[in-house]
A and B are shown apart, each in its own frame.
Chain A
């Protein structure tokens, strides 16, 4: 019975994830004639590609860090606010997520344009604008898991820490932060991975001047129509993502035990 109920899900996973992955792997490991090659994979080491990958890593790292720095105190404020107000504040943060992602990014494009209201900043078409876009688009994905982890912390734990003489900052470092790690881990994953692979944000806010690895892959599939190279680079990205997730996971295990 259980097997029967999960059948649609299994079909969905097969059709939507597993099969495309196999197709990508096939294209990535062959050349145009269909012969096996690892050239598409090694291509990531060459000039432009390596530079794009490096920039992607750098920008997504920066965006993740900024999101974390913003989301942690925000989570604290949300946790401490009164019940009615809490719902409203959380709602405010989820609200932008109801808007289409491309529209949100486009809004920033209009704002940051030379002639736009924030044009004087002169950051349109620079990596700064791309990071700004990433932070704006993905911040809710950092706030929500952190907030969720924080409200799960029993108030009596915080009171116990104060009772034992802890100052506010000790409570923050020794009790709240360690207990928020599961939320931080999901938040970091949910911001870092899409930032690393984005091409839409860098297209719109980078104006073709900020080339991320996502843009390169996109171009291989569209303008250059070199599916083999595009797939090969995608495979490399997947490996990067798996490695970074494993790294984060390990960090979580060390700090937290098995909370996820």
Chain B
């Protein structure tokens, strides 16, 4: 299937600034028509990755292939991709229409075609009638949308978007997320999307790449990333989580602070220290004695769809979410279904929180439970 064809390959890309490593042997394959999101905390190298693809930063080592052809040294203006910059980068001396028309004029399109495209693009980003406005008269969110319009009118093969919805309010952001997805399906453009908003990454992407300190922590579908985080960093970064120390007593049993929890993981060996991840919505709250540990509710906040509660049980402060409310001070018990307990190997040392790609691959080749 043509859809499965690899469009871009980043091979062993390394980049450091003044001796500080920003990307380390970074490998990424982007398939045609895919929506890939780079997700990670500030400073983890997301923009740098996009800049290397866009041709604005030269990697120290490694290659970028486009349809198998080496484009590492190809100048930015020759690359078949367009970027929506994190800082918008609209031309302040041109009005909105001229900004959008910039790329089209260069590629020698007719005035009629350009006018049509401007209208179409402005409608798409909900700013119809803004043709003659000056850039400086727009709000941050409006500028961001014009930046998107300016890039898509060129119908590039690949669109690189650097936090393109960061300045928008929630409602507009959701609308634009929907529009971008629709656009992707309509125009058949491959998207490489950068965000540090995990919810946005999970809702929009075909594939999510979680990065930290220049390493890929995990790559997979949104479901895989959310349900089967490969290490504590991913679990912590994707949504709220209870990450606690545990011991794998034997296959299918993990002990947390002396309490045994049945689980579905095996192959860790006996009495091996592990990290245990439990999502707040997976904590079942019941009457005392019903669950695995008895405890007491210490806080309760209504956060929209459900209540978010802290429950002190077995010497651990658990974060729990439930549609039912349990009053502060109430005696309860907590339990977790075996399939909702996620067991992960501990990083070797504190500063190895950023597990390198090799480690992740190494773990996989040993056959971690997640693989089974």
Q: For B92, what are the chain A residues with a Cβ–Cβ distance below 8 Å?
A: 157, 179
Q: Is the CB of A163 within 8 A of B93?
A: no
Cα distance, A197 to B192, chains bound together (Å): 60
Pick from B90, B93, B103: contact of A165, CB below 8 A: B103
Q: Is the CB of A163 within 8 A of B77?
A: yes
Q: For B102, what are the chain A residues with a Cβ–Cβ distance below 8 Å?
A: 161, 164, 166, 174
Q: For A256, what are the chain B residues with a Cβ–Cβ distance below 8 Å?
A: 93
Which of B56, B134, B150, B154 lies at the interface centre, i.e. has the most chain A CB atoms within 10 A of its CB?
A: B56
Q: Is the CB of B89 within 8 A of A164?
A: no
Cα distance, A160 to B134, chains bound together (Å): 18
- The yes or no answer to B348 lying at the interface (CB within 8 A) is no
Q: Is the CB of A163 within 8 A of B76?
A: yes
Q: For A161, what are the chain B residues with a Cβ–Cβ distance below 8 Å?
A: 91, 102
Q: For B89, what are the chain A residues with a Cβ–Cβ distance below 8 Å?
A: 154, 156-157, 159-160
Q: Which of A208-243 contact B (CB under 8 A)?
A: none
CB distance from A9 to the nearest CB of B (A): 32
Given A160-B91, A256-B93, also A165-B106 (CB < 8 A)? yes
B54, closest chain A residue (CB): A163
- The yes or no answer to B72 lying at the interface (CB within 8 A) is no
Q: For B136, what are the chain A residues with a Cβ–Cβ distance below 8 Å?
A: 257
B101, closest chain A residue (CB): A164
CB distance from A84 to the nearest CB of B (A): 14
Q: For A166, what are the chain B residues with a Cβ–Cβ distance below 8 Å?
A: 77, 102, 106
Q: Is the CB of B82 within 8 A of A164?
A: yes
Cα distance, A174 to B55, chains bound together (Å): 21
Cα distance, A124 to B59, chains bound together (Å): 55
Q: When each residue 118-153 of chain B gets 1 if its CB lies under 8 Å from chain A and 0 otherwise, what string results? A: 000000000000000010100000000000001100
Cα distance, A161 to B106, chains bound together (Å): 10
Q: Majority SS of interface residues in chain A?
A: helix
Q: Report, as a range, how many residues of chain B touch the other chain.
A: 20 to 34
Q: Is the CB of A165 within 8 A of B107?
A: yes
- The yes or no answer to A81 lying at the interface (CB within 8 A) is no
Inter-chain residue pair count (beta carbon < 8 A):
62
Q: For B215, what are the chain A residues with a Cβ–Cβ distance below 8 Å?
A: none
Cα distance, A178 to B87, chains bound together (Å): 20
Pick from B85, B106, B150: contact of A159, CB below 8 A: B85
A181, closest chain B residue (CB): B93
- The yes or no answer to B68 lying at the interface (CB within 8 A) is no
- The yes or no answer to B205 lying at the interface (CB within 8 A) is no
Pick from B75, B85, B93, B154: contact of A179, CB below 8 A: B93
Q: For A174, what are the chain B residues with a Cβ–Cβ distance below 8 Å?
A: 102
Cα distance, A165 to B105, chains bound together (Å): 10
Cα distance, A166 to B154, chains bound together (Å): 13
Q: Which of A160-204 contact B (CB under 8 A)?
A: 160-167, 170, 174-175, 178-179
Q: Is the CB of B76 within 8 A of A159?
A: yes
Q: Is the CB of A164 within 8 A of B85?
A: no
Q: Which of B51-72 contact A (CB under 8 A)?
A: 54-56
Which of A156, A179, A255 lies at the interface centre, i.e. has the most chain B CB atoms within 10 A of its CB?
A: A156
CB distance from B138 to the nearest CB of A (A): 14
Q: Is the CB of B87 within 8 A of A156?
A: yes
Which of B75, B76, B93 lies at the interface centre, i.e. has the most chain A CB atoms within 10 A of its CB?
A: B93
Q: Is the CB of A257 within 8 A of B56?
A: no
Q: Is the CB of B75 within 8 A of A164?
A: no
Given contacts A160-B83, A161-B102, list 20 more A-B pairs with CB under 8 A: A154-B87, A156-B87, A157-B89, A157-B92, A159-B54, A159-B56, A159-B89, A160-B89, A163-B56, A164-B77, A164-B103, A164-B151, A165-B106, A165-B107, A166-B106, A174-B102, A178-B93, A179-B93, A255-B93, A257-B93
Residue contacts A-B, CB under 8 angstroms, 8 given: A159-B56, A162-B55, A164-B102, A164-B106, A164-B150, A165-B103, A175-B91, A257-B134
- Chain A residues close to B by CB (< 8 Å): 154, 156-157, 159-167, 170, 174-175, 178-179, 255-257
The 7 closest A-B pairs by CB, nearest first: A164-B103, A160-B89, A156-B89, A162-B76, A162-B77, A178-B93, A165-B106
